[in-house]
Amino acid sequence: MEMQLQQRQTINLVMTADLRQAIALLQYSTYELYQFINEQELDNPLIELVDREDNHMSYRGKSSQVAKTNDSIEDPLNFIAADEKCMSQHLIEQLQWLDISEREQRTIHYLILNLDKNGYLPLSTPEIATQLELGEDEVLRGIKVLQQLDPIGVGARDLKECLLLQIHYYCPEEDTAIRIINGYLDQLANKKWHDIANVLEVSLSKIKEAYDLILSLDPKPCAILSSETVEYLNPDIIVKKLDGKFEVSLNDGYLPEIRYNNKYSDRLHKKMDASKYADDKYKSYQWLISSLEQRRNTILKITHAVLQKQQDFFLNGFSSLKPLTLKEIAEEIEMHESTVSRATMNKVIQTPKGAFDFRLFFTSKLNTVDGKSMSQTKVKILLENYIKKEDKYKPFSDQKIADYLNTKKGITISRRTVAKYRGELKIPSSSKRKEIQL
């Protein structure tokens, strides 16, 4: 055996830093792109950003929070200060009317600031006592005072306590409902009407009355006072219908204009210490301009192809959504499937039928008996509509729904798939949909 040195010529694909960044640019949402461009200005002295004249956008840190879309008119009412109080303010203001000591006020103030967004107290009594250096009896007295504030149910430690606080306040004479909340909430949730009636030795009509009363109680008493702000959706792509035709545009009017800072032009292509740095930054500037244009053209090309394939959806809505894969669009526009996947990632498209995740248009298909196919979304709509028509005293089982879709609609679907779709639609099982029949 001899050791030899051999020379071979091979070709390897190497992903450069620029290529990796170009791929990342493609999957950025418009707001993420906005942030990236601003970062590039800080990193590259040859890049100068100029706000567009019609740019009146203001951001608040999230891609979904935008003052207005590019084609909207600012409503002056948006600038009027809201007079709404958050949950903690609403509760703290009530403390001044209570005849309690300053020490008790501090305790209750601490409890209020530790409530979750629904008004529940997630801390245990020993934890609170340790943190405030108080006795547990004193903490319990503070919790009892807190639970007397408006809205009723605030300060509860769990769902059971929350419902009991409300029913004792509003309907203290409803003994059956109180007994059910105390010991049979799980059975009530699973609609075990007969089991509860037998244990409590009451009629089904009494159980039905108690059930309706419990449903009227609020399991999240402070949700309406939550201080969370409304988040507005900022679309990346806009599809409009004008003069009978659909037009596609990118909602990127708020992106700043990228200009070349010519202050450093005298240092380019010269034998100076700073010339190599300037040349590298000039290449980065050119790469950014070309990458943004390529990203724009790619997204528009994909959107036009999707619009052509899903035109019935843009006219009629979800019931006309057709099955479509990334591969079909990739073949249509002669691009790689991974490029289509990245370009549609993290994108919101605004259509005449509403604003949706771009991936909504790519839905799996189910076969029909006539050899055609139907989108998963359309099957879910058929399933939901069929359940709406059922007898609430004898709801359809998953198998019966599968049989209906097979025989009446010609859709090849299994019971397991029906259960999966029903779960995605947040529709409970037949046993939990069943109403009391008196």
In the chain, what are the domain boundaries? Answer: 87-225, 237-361, 365-433
> Bridge partners of 357?
348
What Å distances lie between residue 15 and 22, 284, 306, CA to CA?
A: 11, 16, 29
Overall average pLDDT of the 144-168 stretch: 92
pLDDT confidence tier of residue 248, bands split at 50, 70 and 90:
very high
Instruction: Give yes or no for residue 70 having a pLDDT over 60.
Output: no
Distance CA 366, CA 310 (A): 17
Percent of the chain with pLDDT over 70: 86
H-type alpha helices, 190-274: 193-200, 204-216
CB pairs under 8 A, 24+ apart, for 34-39? Answer: 34/59, 34/254, 34/255, 37/255, 37/256, 37/258, 37/288, 38/256
* pLDDT score of 83 more than 50: no
Local structure of 357: helix, strand or coil: strand
Convert the pLDDT of each residue in 335-371 to its tens digit: 999 999 999 998 999 999 889 899 989 887 777 777 7
Q: How far apart are CA 58 and CA 70, in angstroms?
A: 11
Percent of the chain with pLDDT over 90: 38
Cis peptide before 221 (omega within 30 of 0): no
Both tokens of 206, joined, read 């009494």
Instruction: Check pLDDT > 70 for residue 273.
Output: no
Q: Which DSSP state fits 257?
A: E
Lookup result for tokens 């209570």: 98
Q: List the single range of 245-249, 266-270, 391-395 with lowest mean pLDDT.
A: 266-270
> What angle do helix axes 159-170 and 204-216 make, rounded to 10 degrees?
100
Mean per-residue pLDDT, 285-291: 90
Secondary structure letter of residue 201 according to DSSP: T
Measured between alpha carbons, how far is 122 from 272 in angstroms, rounded to an integer?
65
Confidence label for 95 from pLDDT (cuts 50, 70 and 90): confident
Question: What pLDDT does residue 68 have?
Answer: 39
Identify which has the larger pLDDT, 293 or 229. Answer: 293
State residue 19's pLDDT score. 66
- On whether the 365-433 domain is CATH 1.10.10.60, my answer is yes
Rounded mean pLDDT, 159-182:
92
Q: What is the pLDDT of residues 9-61, one digit of tens each?
A: 777 655 566 667 777 888 899 999 999 999 999 988 888 899 876 554 444 33
For residues 176 and 209, is the Cβ–Cβ distance under 8 A? yes
The whole-number average pLDDT for the span 172-184 is: 92
Furthest-apart CA pair in the chain: how many Å? Answer: 100
183-242 confidence digits (pLDDT tens): 899 988 888 888 999 999 999 889 989 998 999 999 998 877 655 555 667 899 999 998
Whole-structure pTM value: 0.64
Residue 141, pLDDT score: 92
| Single-letter code of the amino acid located at 425 | L
| Strand, coil or helix: 269 | coil
Using pLDDT thresholds of 50, 70 and 90, give the confidence band for residue 90: confident
Q: Express each pLDDT in 136-148 by its tens digit.
A: 999 999 999 999 9
Q: Cis ω on the peptide bond leading into residue 395 (within 30° of 0)?
A: no
Residue 6: predicted pLDDT: 76
The mean pLDDT value of the chain amounts to: 83
On the question of pLDDT at 373 being above 80, the answer is no
384 and 376 Cβ atoms separated by less than 8 Å:
no
Q: What is the reported pLDDT for 73? A: 43
Tokens coding 233: 């959706």
* Average pLDDT estimate for 252-266: 82
Q: Which two tokens stand for residue 386?
A: 């069929």
pLDDT for the residue numbered 85: 58
Phi, psi at 48, each rounded to 5°: -125, 125
> Could you tell me the pLDDT band of residue 270, with boundaries at 50, 70 and 90?
low
Compute the C-alpha angle 310/316/318, nearest 5°: 70
Residue 54 is predicted with a pLDDT of 56
Separation between Cα atoms, residue 43 and residue 23, nearest integer Å: 20
Residue 7 has pLDDT above 80, yes or no: no
Distance between CA atoms of 365 and 374, rounded to whole angstroms?
A: 5
Of 126 and 59, the one with more pLDDT: 126
Report pLDDT for 1: 64
Least confident of 165-179, 183-197, 229-243, 392-406: 229-243
Residue listed under structure tokens 């809201």: 82
User: Can you give the pLDDT at residue 60?
Assistant: 38
Helix, strand, or coil (residue 228): coil
pLDDT value, residue 228: 55
238 strand-pairing partners? 249, 350
Residues 81-97: what's their mean pLDDT?
74
